[in-house]
A and B are shown apart, each in its own frame.
Chain A
Amino acid sequence: MLYDIFIDPFVQMYDMPDFFLQVLWEGFVAGILYALIALGFVLIFKASGVFNFAQGIMVVFAGLTLVGLNENGVPAYLALALTIGAMGILAYGVERVVMRPLVNQPDIILLMATIGLTYFLIGFGEFVFGGEPKQMITEELGLPTGSTAIEFGDRGLVILQHIDIAAAVIAVLMVAALGIFFNKTRIGRALRAVADDHQAALSVGISLNQIWAIVWFAAGLVALATGIMWGARSDVSFALEIVAFKALPVLILGGFTSIPGAIVGGLIIGFGEKIGELYWGGLVGGGIESWLAYIIALIFLLFRPQGLFGERIIERV
């Protein structure tokens, strides 16, 4: 038993380095996608202190809108533009109808409101586009579909799906774009000011409502990118919503307010989950992927309650 837990997995890793590398790659890609979902959460949490549970369903909704429009004869790129427009309308609507009347309510009420929003979007999405899974329009959008095998002489080979590489590249580009947006533009600076202190930001003339609409729109764009990437790997369906729960341990690992934290947390969870499942999962009957991420995050939190990059919690009575 002890041998199975502590020695055997490492022997396997050494014996089959190609398999191990493949697992690492899978973990990397999964981690990137978790990080993308977590990024949407972080954006909204930073700017408004709202824990946006609807991020997962926004991913599904964006993907469904894109595919649904394309199915009805809209060319792919036009559909993409229209979907971006739809996310803009959604952002404006959420800010106007949900966020503005609930200003200054306790966290849990805002959390509940976003879960209400989740219900609404599930119903709306199924009502408009139907509940069955759809195929993502990967080729129409000009995304690569093939795969490359890298050989290591006689030690075997690792297969890289092109779409995964594209996902990683897009994730990096998005984080870079967000970084520039936050640090170099006027709106980005206003956003950071709001994140620091709502009242101080208001007092220097920053419009909270405008900032919130922008932030929700940015989260919507992140959701769209995530939706395309997830959709290309599997189908676009409401099952993705469960996957979005995986972003939560990523968040608490990285800290709710840190964009680098979301990326690092996503990668830790992605690697940990795949390696744990493939090398240790067999010992307890498999399927541990569904909860391993939470346990990793939980153990982590016991030692560092504010997450890896979270702001230090200082308590006063």
Chain B
Amino acid sequence: MFYREAGQFKTSYKADQALMPILQDRVGLLVILAIAFVVIPVFANDFFLTSIMIPFLVFSLAAIGLNVLTGFCGQLSLGTGAFMGVGAYAAYKLTTIFPDANVIVMVLLSGVFSAAIGAIFGLPSLRIKGLYLAVTTLAAQFFLEWCFIRIGWLYNYNASGAIEIPHREAFGLVVSGAEATPIVRYFIVLCITAGIAFLMANVLRGRIGRSWMMIRDMDIAAELMGIRPLQTKLLAFAVSSYICGVAGAMMVFFWLNAAEPSSYSIALSFQILFMVILGGLGSLGGAFMGAAFIWILPVFLKFIPGTIGIDVAAETVEHVTFMIVGALIIFFLIVEPHGFARLWQIAKQKLRVWPFPY
């Protein structure tokens, strides 16, 4: 009823191949973009921008990156946090070596380093599969974390061992460093995330995305049908690491302002993996929904005791939050193992046939 294809005729090949052939989808996307670009900047306060929206967008992008690898190419990775770290440290080095260059370009460029490292650690995937591969990606996680601690050159031999983001300007605005306003940061993060998401939406439905999905569904059959596993898998690792690297660089440049090696620990890898699984493997929209759930839920849980007037120690709240998040993860896996993306599809189907049950 509300959501239907009936009556929407496609009269050209172009219309048939459009990214969103259904009118309601296009309207929905425009509404979301309008909210993101106009409503939130106008009405949101700084707290909402810095502690909810910016991290949410950064994590969404990282979840998209991991989704490319795990959801579309079927290679389970537990090294996401480290690849994000590579992006962050590369961007930091680039901007200290070239202080006059546009920092946004540097952030986008830093993903290239992350992609190269990701491709190297993707090499074992040619021989190793499944859970075995997941454990070998832990090698990347711990090795890279060690590099962030031990190689002084990476953090310019700071006494603190952490990277501190310097003051940088671009387009006449302060974009990074402590003086940058949340609204500027928000717009940069939003533009990069939306841009990469749009790009990936098109890559994933094209030849490259389809070859990834063939490898995921049955690698030997894909090989017999002329997909080269070496190039395809390494490309998936590189693209995924590029996106994760950009997300990691954005995380420190536009959100945290400073990062130490422990910011990119295994805990971050798991967090991103949760977002991907709960959102739905192999779905871009799911990456956003998963990131929203995993990041925003704990923030809200922290405020619940205060608002209903119970005085609880901050520690207790944190522990209970952990318990609730863990329990909810199990709950959602049981209810819908295919994630929020599947729930959204079911909802669309219900809207399509409403008011009839089927």
Taking CB atoms, residues of chain A closer than 8 Å to B149 are 287
- Chain B, range 270-303, C-beta contacts under 8 Å to A: 270, 273-274, 277, 281
CB–CB A112/B277 < 8 A = yes
Taking CB atoms, residues of chain A closer than 8 Å to B221 are 317
- Chain B, range 50-85, C-beta contacts under 8 Å to A: 70, 76
Residue of B nearest to A250 (CB): B135
A119, B274: Cα distance in complex, Å: 11
Residue of A nearest to B339 (CB): A109
A51, B316: Cα distance in complex, Å: 30
**B136 within 8 Å of A by Cβ?**
yes
Contact partner of A302 (CB less than 8 A), chosen from B127, B135, B138, B218, is: B127
- Chain B, range 197-230, C-beta contacts under 8 Å to A: 218, 220-221, 224
Taking CB atoms, residues of chain B closer than 8 Å to A51 are 131
Residue of A nearest to B150 (CB): A285
Interface size on B, residues (CB 8 A): 47
Taking CB atoms, residues of chain B closer than 8 Å to A97 are 330
Known A102-B334, A245-B266; judge A284-B150 contact (CB<8 A).
yes
Taking CB atoms, residues of chain B closer than 8 Å to A302 are 124, 127-128
A180, B277: Cα distance in complex, Å: 40
Taking CB atoms, residues of chain B closer than 8 Å to A242 are 266
Taking CB atoms, residues of chain A closer than 8 Å to B273 are 112, 115
A305, B143: Cα distance in complex, Å: 21
Known A107-B130, A115-B270; judge A301-B327 contact (CB<8 A).
no
**A25 within 8 Å of B by Cβ?**
no
Known A123-B322, A294-B139, A301-B124; judge A112-B145 contact (CB<8 A).
no
Instruction: With both chains docked as a complex, state the minimum distance between the C-beta of A20 and any C-beta of chain B, in angstroms.
Output: 25
Instruction: With both chains docked as a complex, state the minimum distance between the C-beta of A44 and any C-beta of chain B, in angstroms.
Output: 13
Known A107-B130, A112-B274, A297-B135; judge A127-B333 contact (CB<8 A).
no
A124, B323: Cα distance in complex, Å: 6
CB–CB A248/B329 < 8 A = no
Instruction: With both chains docked as a complex, state the minimum distance between the C-beta of A83 and any C-beta of chain B, in angstroms.
Output: 20
Instruction: With both chains docked as a complex, state the minimum distance between the C-beta of B269 and any C-beta of chain A, in angstroms.
Output: 11
Taking CB atoms, residues of chain B closer than 8 Å to A287 are 146, 149-150
Taking CB atoms, residues of chain A closer than 8 Å to B337 are 102, 105-106, 109
CB–CB B323/A301 < 8 A = no
**A191 within 8 Å of B by Cβ?**
no
CB–CB A127/B320 < 8 A = yes
**A126 within 8 Å of B by Cβ?**
yes
A58, B334: Cα distance in complex, Å: 22
Taking CB atoms, residues of chain B closer than 8 Å to A291 are 139, 142-143, 145-146
A111, B274: Cα distance in complex, Å: 11
Interface size on A, residues (CB 8 A): 50
Taking CB atoms, residues of chain A closer than 8 Å to B145 are 290-291
**A101 within 8 Å of B by Cβ?**
yes
A108, B138: Cα distance in complex, Å: 16
Instruction: With both chains docked as a complex, state the minimum distance between the C-beta of B4 and any C-beta of chain A, in angstroms.
Output: 32
Taking CB atoms, residues of chain B closer than 8 Å to A126 are 315, 318-319, 322
A298, B96: Cα distance in complex, Å: 35
**B2 within 8 Å of A by Cβ?**
no
Residue of B nearest to A295 (CB): B139
Residue of A nearest to B327 (CB): A120
A291, B218: Cα distance in complex, Å: 32
Contact partner of A298 (CB less than 8 A), chosen from B130, B136, B318, is: B136
**B326 within 8 Å of A by Cβ?**
yes
CB–CB A305/B128 < 8 A = yes
CB–CB B143/A294 < 8 A = yes
**B132 within 8 Å of A by Cβ?**
yes
A108, B325: Cα distance in complex, Å: 18
Residue of B nearest to A131 (CB): B315
Taking CB atoms, residues of chain B closer than 8 Å to A249 are 135, 138-139
Can you list, as one digit per residue, whether each of B219-256 has a CB less than 8 Å from chain A (1) or not (0)?
Answer: 01100100000000000000000000000000000000
Can you list, as one digit per residue, whether each of A260-295 has a CB less than 8 Å from chain B (1) or not (0)?
Answer: 000000000000000000000000111110110011
A302, B224: Cα distance in complex, Å: 23
Most buried by A among B128, B143, B218, B322: B322
CB–CB A252/B320 < 8 A = no
Instruction: With both chains docked as a complex, state the minimum distance between the C-beta of A264 and any C-beta of chain B, in angstroms.
Output: 17
**A66 within 8 Å of B by Cβ?**
no
Shortest 10 CB-CB distances between A and B: which pairs? A123-B322, A120-B326, A119-B326, A294-B139, A123-B323, A116-B329, A291-B142, A127-B319, A291-B143, A116-B330
Binding site for A on B (CB under 8 A): 70, 76, 124, 127-132, 134-136, 138-139, 142-143, 145-146, 149-150, 218, 220-221, 224, 266, 270, 273-274, 277, 281, 315-316, 318-327, 329-330, 333-334, 337
What are 13 A-B residue pairs whose CB atoms fall within 8 Å in the complex? Answer: A108-B76, A108-B281, A120-B327, A122-B322, A123-B321, A131-B319, A242-B266, A248-B138, A287-B150, A288-B146, A290-B145, A294-B135, A302-B124
